[in-house]
Structure 1
């Protein structure tokens, strides 16, 4: 099977169940932005190949689970309002983010000022992923009939990625860069 179909050559694509929409449709923008965040998380994980720290395996597994969930969030966003997907977000997906976020946050020093995205390449890329997830959330808000859990998940995921960036920087002994107000 060839990867190209030529069906999108005139600016349209198919949602799940086959309905055709413009490639700049909000649904396409939202799931494409989730895909972008997913790719950046993958890049961030690639930087961990050469390092070790206590809890690395669980950290990687957590981020890979998030990558899978983001793929499913994209599928929900790519499904027309009058149709159902076979896999839907549930409250437990958000709870899992919160549990891990809280666990990592316990190890971190409290924030007393804003920090700049920086540190180890893994941490810096997780900050990039966080901003992309925020964009996906802003786009998804404009979609009629979007599963409210998608919005909650994206909101919580950006917090999770912020804390994950701080956590990996701490584990790899890369200090945070405070915002300098002059």
Structure 2
């Protein structure tokens, strides 16, 4: 199977079930932005590969699930109005993220100030992924007939990535850079 088909050479692509749309279609923008976020998460995970901290394997397993589910979000967004896709986001997926956020936050200092994105390379990448997910969420609000749990998932995913960035920065010994009152 060749990677190139040449069918998109004139600015169109296929949704699931073969419907042709412009590459500027809001569905394509939304699922493309999810793909971008997923790639950024993958970059963060590549930095974790050489890191050493307790719970690393669990961390990688958690993120494998997150990346898979974000791929499923993309599939839902790539499915035309009125059609169904085999993979769907469920309330349980959102609940799992919330439980993980709560577990990580128990190990972190409570937030007292805004923090500036950065820190350990993986943490910084997760902050970038968080902002990409927020863009995907904004784009998804414009897509017609989307599983409402997709929006909930994206909203919670950005929170999840924020806490994950804080968590990995903490475990890698990186201090958070806070925005102080006199700097506002």
Return the alpha-carbon distance in structure 1 between the equivalents of residues 103 and 80 of structure 2: 36
Please state if 1:38 is matched with 2:41: no
The answer for the alignment partner of 2:108 in structure 1 is 108
Return the alpha-carbon distance in structure 1 between the equivalents of residues 151 and 58 of structure 2: 26
Shift of residue 62 of structure 1?
0.7
The answer for the alignment partner of 2:82 in structure 1 is 82
The answer for the alignment partner of 2:142 in structure 1 is 142
Return the alpha-carbon distance in structure 1 between the equivalents of residues 166 and 122 of structure 2: 10
Name the SS of the counterpart of 2:64 in structure 1: helix
Return the alpha-carbon distance in structure 2 between the equivalents of residues 179 and 63 of structure 1: 29
CA deviation vs aligned residue, 1:16-52 (integer Å, no higher than 9, x gap):
0000100010100000000000000000000112211
Across the aligned residues of Structure 1 and Structure 2, the Cα RMSD in angstroms comes to 0.7
Shift of residue 13 of structure 1?
0.3
The answer for the alignment partner of 1:94 in structure 2 is 94
- TM-score when normalising by structure 2: 0.97
The answer for the alignment partner of 2:23 in structure 1 is 23
Return the alpha-carbon distance in structure 2 between the equivalents of residues 89 and 61 of structure 1: 18
Return the alpha-carbon distance in structure 2 between the equivalents of residues 88 and 43 of structure 1: 25
Return the alpha-carbon distance in structure 1 between the equivalents of residues 48 and 124 of structure 2: 12
Return the alpha-carbon distance in structure 2 between the equivalents of residues 49 and 84 of structure 1: 36
The size of the alignment, in residue pairs, is: 182
Please state if 1:55 is matched with 2:66: no
Name the SS of the counterpart of 1:73 in structure 2: helix
Return the alpha-carbon distance in structure 2 between the equivalents of residues 108 and 8 of structure 1: 47
Q: Which runs of 5+ in 2 are unaligned?
A: none
After the TM superposition, which parts of structure 1 deviate over 4 Å for at least 4 consecutive aligned residues?
A: none
The answer for the alignment partner of 2:122 in structure 1 is 122
